[in-house]
Chain A
Amino acid sequence: MDTIELSNVVKEYRLGEVVVPALKNVSLKINNGEFTVIAGPSGSGKTTLLNLVGCVDVASGGSVRVSGQNTAELSERELTDLRLNKIGFIFQSFNLISVLNVYDNVEFPLLLMKNISKKERHERVSHFIEKVGLQDHMKHRPNELSGGQRQRVAIARALVTKPRIVLADEPTANLDSKTGQSIIDLMKEINASEKTTFLFSTHDDNVIRHARRIIKLRDGAIESLGETGI
């Protein structure tokens, strides 16, 4: 089953009088459980593509289907729900909530979901914190953690809702190569164990090397779709 399907997607940004095309007629399919990298130089449209898939932005033309739903047909509220329930985000700058500790940060999306019992919340939060190896740092605030640790918290937060898709925008850009490597390893492991679809945007060769599929973008257009494989 196709988890993500883009057909003839156009995205244009308007800078005053000038219309800047960010994506030109992009069509692609990503299957369930794929570990995919979108590669390309800066300005090639990687983040734009990720934003469209992540339902935080809408296309100017064409259609984006995420988990079977056409995002253009969803209301703001439905898009938010879709993000909450189906998508996990891992940001380049980690984007943890500074006033919450590790545990609370990971628990945050579960609290937004409302229908999860306290017991299950605790189990899930503990499980994923353990999974990212931060069980000894549960009470720490983000500013008490290293960059790698923070990104691990972000990964736990992205996974705790058991999303179908995890989107990671340059997840290693703010990390040294060794830490970056361990983060990639962690995500691969989760991909293998949880069957979660991972979609990266990166121009980090280290990450690209580990991808099972590489979609190359240049100037807003697909250069190559790469091989599909799980």
Chain B
Amino acid sequence: MLLWKLALRNLFLHRLKTIVIGMIIVFGTTLAIVGNSIVDAISGGMQNSLTNSITGDIQIYSAEAKEQIAVLGSMDGNMPDIGHVSDFKKVKETLITQVPNIKDIIPMGINTAMLNPGNLLDIKLEELRHAFEAPAANALRIAALKQHLQAIIKDIERSQRDNEANLGGIYGGKKLFENAPRDIATSLSPSFWKDFDAHHEERIEFLANKMAPLIFDDNQLYLSYIGTVPELFQASFPQFEIASGEMIPAGARGFLFSDYVYENQVKHRVARRLDQIKKKIDQDHMSIKAAKELQDRIKANRDQAAEIYTQLEPPRIAILLPRLQEFLKSQTTDIEGLVKEFLAMDDQNFGLRYKFFYDEIAPYILLYRVKIGDTFAVTAFTKSGYSSSVNLKVYGTYRFKSFESSPVAGAVSIMDMVSFRKLFGFMTSASKAETAALNDEMGIKDLDPTDVSAMFGTPAVPDIAKHETPEFSLTQLSQGRFGNIDAARRETTTQYTRDEMENGIFLNAAIHLKDPSRLSETLENITRVSKEKSLGIQAKDWRDSAGMIGQLTVLVRGVLYLFVLVIFGVATFIIMNSMLMATLDRRREIGTMRAIGAQRSFLLKLFLRETFILSFVFGLIGTVIGVTIVLVVGSKGIPAMGDVSTFFFSGDRLYLHVNPLPILIVFVCMTLVSIVSTQYPAWRAMKISPLEAMQHSD
């Protein structure tokens, strides 16, 4: 009691010191509690995002993988080489029967592909080609398209003239286009168009071969995609939803764009920028006047005004021109000038012009380079390094509910497993049978039928330059003219059974658990079963298998703990320092106590009580503040700033929860801090001689 009284009164006597130390303790405790709660929530949010989008609870892949799996990409941005596993059916059946906690296994494969939807001229020529299938019925449309084609070619002529000097560089050799001026002249000559209808096939072919390549644009799309069984994927990942279009029907081959990619890469550039500006104004309350990034977008839109007016067909221009003039109250008479004027937006007119754009302009341009419902050729490099293409219908776009705007998990498109296997260089069952028949015929027996490249002796190292096809070049590939134009027009209509979809080779597979809390135990079980049954797989939890991003919370937590540790370190130092000062201040008093008969241990107890009260009272205040912040802010939710954070928050807001264990740990740490920081001052105090009491000064 005496000790408590003394300790309390000493603390009260040195109020300023007590308050300074107290503030540090309060700050440290509050930060530790709130920070921990945030990191916990982010960790949980990320777990939710990852396990419900792509990784599942556990990922399995080949035990012989050269690199560790990174579903969302590794540090260098490449997809790691994780090898492949041959027999999904065996793996699935074995694991499901042997590891009871497994709910579901979804086969997967992740790769990148290129697709070239063709440029404006390609698309218009394609449409014209279709129109000529019924020339009488489509007479008006044919006339409009022809008019538009001429306008496009005139634009080509103009840009050829303007950029003559640069073209060599752009096209990788002037030689390829040395006849361009002559071909343009031919395309624009009245005689070319006079009897166009009679020779439409030949004329269209001429334009497709000679004019379309002259349009330089970055039409190439690079896509990350995941091959899987679409309906199984949809059923297993509850946050999956179709954003537009429809789901790939069961058993069909097809492609689903990631909504994020579709809106941010496939959409018309000008429209995309307008959307981004609108989002920044509406959600982040930015203004064009104040934000340079918005001004830059406006400027980019003005510079690329041509992407609007060249896409508008002349009859549409005729209607739009007076409307634009009226809308802008402008005297300008050419569409080029008007569109530029229109795109020069500011904070006052943005809302109205955004609406006008979507009402009057967007329906008449190529708002998306790939339309939902179209079939297009997806080109990818197989694991052996040669290129392979499949034609796929785009059924729609999908997203993950609650973090749809995040590019982190949402930037991956989806494709059926059969197409994936083909693109990755694995044979489908049909082509397997064909190869087997061929092998029988030719007497080849020992060839691995799963690896097409083995038949051609292609080097295992992916190397485009060494490819044996002499005509092949990257330029051609990037131009999308790789001999599959005809193929692209054929729709793949074959139906596949679920067995055919699932069974065969896969790169990795997502496992969902019945009880996700028993994750580490299940991981061990899978590894054990794989060894016993020679499945040749290894398993990693969602955190390890996601790649770099999965380690991010570990990093964030590390940084937080380091920060808290530093604060506790500073607290220790300051507490120690001021206790030491107080000790020196109280030399006479301490000496008196010693002289009167207080043992050294009495002083140690006194000091420990003082710091204990400090850390307990202020630790408690810090805890109350911390918990209050967590409860108040946490229940309202911290709004996600930007697209990436929605992924970490697994939604628009981060909700915090009070977790008693970390609070207890913080408390224990605080107590340790106080004990540690008291040691030296107490030791110094115990060294004070009772002789100090005898000093004759006051």
Contact = CB atoms under 8 A, between A and B. Distances in A.
Given A98-B589, A99-B13, A111-B2, A80 B694 contact: no
Nearest to B3: A111
A76 B697 CA distance: 26
B693 A89 contact: yes
Interface residues of B, number: 28
Q: Which 10 A/B pairs are nearest by Cβ-Cβ distance?
A: A84-B597, A99-B9, A56-B690, A95-B592, A93-B698, A111-B2, A83-B597, A109-B596, A112-B597, A80-B599
A95 B588 contact: yes
- Centre residue among B588, B694, B695, B696 by max chain A CB count within 10 A: B694
B10 interface: yes
Interface string A55-77: 01100000000000000000011
A100 B596 contact: no
Contacts of B594: 56, 80
A83 B596 contact: yes
A190 B205 CA distance: 130
A54 B693 CA distance: 12
Given A56-B693, A91-B592, A98 B598 contact: no
Contact of B592 (A77, A97, A174): A97
Contacts of B19: none
Given A83-B596, A99-B13, A111-B2, A92 B696 contact: yes
B595 interface: yes
27 contacts: A47-B696, A50-B694, A51-B694, A56-B595, A56-B694, A77-B599, A80-B600, A83-B690, A84-B596, A84-B597, A84-B598, A89-B592, A89-B595, A89-B693, A91-B592, A92-B696, A93-B698, A95-B588, A95-B693, A97-B593, A98-B589, A104-B2, A111-B2, A113-B597, A161-B597, A169-B694, A174-B698
A97 to B, nearest CB: 6
B5 A89 contact: no
B596 A99 contact: no
Given A104-B2, A157-B596, A169-B694, 20 more contacts: A47-B694, A54-B595, A56-B690, A84-B596, A84-B597, A84-B598, A89-B595, A91-B694, A93-B588, A93-B695, A93-B696, A95-B693, A97-B593, A98-B13, A100-B5, A100-B6, A104-B5, A107-B2, A109-B596, A161-B597
A123 B599 CA distance: 25
Interface of A: 47, 50-51, 54, 56-57, 76-77, 80-81, 83-85, 89, 91-93, 95, 97-100, 104, 107-109, 111-113, 157, 161, 169-170, 173-174
B689 interface: yes
Contacts of B694: 47, 50-51, 56, 91, 169
A41 to B, nearest CB: 14
A37 to B, nearest CB: 17
Interface string B115-151: 0000000000000000000000000000000000000
A174 B697 CA distance: 10
Given A80-B594, A93-B697, A99 B10 contact: yes
Interface string B558-602: 000000000000000000000000000000110011111111101
A109 B597 contact: yes
Contacts of B695: 93
B599 to A, nearest CB: 5
Contacts of B598: 80, 84, 112
A99 B597 contact: no
Contacts of A100: 5-6, 9
B596 A56 contact: no
